[in-house]
Amino acid sequence: MDNIQQFWNDFCVVTQQEDIKYKDAFQFGASTDWLANLVVEGKKTATTSGYVFYELEKEALPQVGEYYVVLNGEEEPVAVIQIQSVEVLPMNEVSEEFALAEGEGDYRFWWDAHEKFFSDLLKEYDKEFSPDMLVVCERFSKVYSK
């Protein structure tokens, strides 16, 4: 059994959950260890992703209630999160309150980090960043970590 499945099984035992599955295991953004630690510490309770990438990769948007396993830079599981809300809106309409819930810094830091991250990723698809590009804003709660 791999370490992700073992981590999930531990979560299910500790929280007395049965017959539930996690949707995916993933790393957050560009600074994976730092962001994973923010989740474990309870400082990061939101994330923003580009809507266009779900379309390009033909992936479904996250759904309220789904569980995900958060991985660190070594792809080791560090936390289980559960989606609390999902909203699609233009990036320039994301509230400061939401940006602060990402736990990474002030609004300006949030904007600059996401503009750079999205710009770099969009180049791979020959697309350009736009301040009104649609983003997927998710709120989540950490339900387990070791």
Residue range 86-131, pLDDT digits in tens: 999 999 999 999 999 999 999 999 999 999 999 999 999 999 999 9
How much is the pLDDT for 146? 84
Encoded tokens for 101 = 């819930």
How much is the pLDDT for 112? 96
Cβ neighbours, 10 Å, residue 131: 10
How much is the pLDDT for 74? 95
CB-based contact 58:133 (threshold 8 Å):
no
pTM to 2 decimal places:
0.92
CB-based contact 100:112 (threshold 8 Å):
no
Residue 1, pLDDT > 70, answer no
